[in-house]
Homo-oligomer: A and B are copies of this chain.
Amino acid sequence: MEKKPTVGYLGMGIMGSAMAGRLVDAGYPVTVWNRSRDKCAALEAKGAKVAATAQEVVESCDITFACTSDPASARSVVFGEGGVLAGISSGRRFVDMSTVDEETAKDIAPVSGSKGPALQGQLVILSAGEEALQKEAQGCFDVMGKRTFFLGEVGAGARMKLVVNMIMGINMVALCEGLAVGTQAGLKGADILEVIKEGAIASPMYGMKGPKMLEGDFASNFPLKHAQKDVRLALGLGDAVGQPMPVAAAANESFKAARAAGRGDDDFSAVYDAVRKQGLSGPPGPY
């Protein structure tokens, strides 16, 4: 059996640490880095090396993955001092799995999925860019995800991620408005979820998030601030290609209201609170 490549992982957030953990479990020699080193502790305990800079990781590994929270940090990890560009050299591979705008994207393969799927290797990987690299990374992709799409030129993966997350964000606000108006009108939230489950719009997200939303459990699988960022970037994409998206624009404003209300670090389903906050306070209306 051929020798496993050495693997680096930059960014130990919810997603990055889950994916890096799977690579360690799969027997890859893994080196990790995070801006605040303390977030590397869990991986170190698992047996991963911890590097002082992104540059050091890239220099010491055959292939390095990154998953950061937003375009700004993605950019600084790549272009900043002690960053990827400082360490990259021929034969060193770098795959950014963040959701970033395309100015930033080099070879990029963002993932679709949240904490749970990441821990279980059930992510969907949206790969694009240099095909040779994709082949080399496939072994790692197989450990991190259940399916990998090859979408063509650099940027296609980022665009796919934005489009799908935008649809997801709208579907979430749709459920929130429905639960809010329905319960205000005297229906039981649990009944609404049951009826949805039996029908054409049943989805894993509605099944998973719905009951938690009714309990007010907003522990973060996918932070709201990242969900809003994706909808905003998708609207920017619409701007670039001349596609109006009034419903996405309205949903974006609801996510912004939730962020403004201090929900940015909660799960994106916490937009439910912002939606209800706009509704009748105190006793329900006519119904």
Using CB atoms and an 8 Å cutoff, list the residues of chain A in contact with chain B.
112-114, 124, 126, 146-147, 149, 151-152, 156, 159-160, 163-164, 166-168, 170-171, 173-175, 177-178, 180-182, 184-187, 191-192, 194-196, 198-205, 208, 232, 234, 237-254, 256-257, 259-262, 274-275, 277-281, 284-287
Contacts and interface: CB of A to CB of B under 8 A. Distances in A.
Q: Considering the complex of A and B, which 6 residue pairs feature the smallest CB-CB distances, nearest first? A: A242-B280, A170-B174, A241-B285, A184-B241, A200-B205, A249-B249
A175 to B, nearest CB: 6
Question: Quick one: which of A202, A239, A242 has the most chain B CB within 10 A?
Answer: A242
A259 B244 CA distance: 9
A160 to B, nearest CB: 6
A177 to B, nearest CB: 4
Contact of A279 (B166, B237, B244): B244
24 contacts: A113-B200, A124-B195, A124-B199, A147-B198, A149-B191, A159-B187, A160-B191, A163-B182, A167-B201, A170-B177, A173-B247, A181-B234, A181-B238, A181-B245, A184-B242, A185-B240, A201-B205, A240-B285, A240-B286, A241-B285, A241-B286, A241-B287, A243-B260, A257-B278
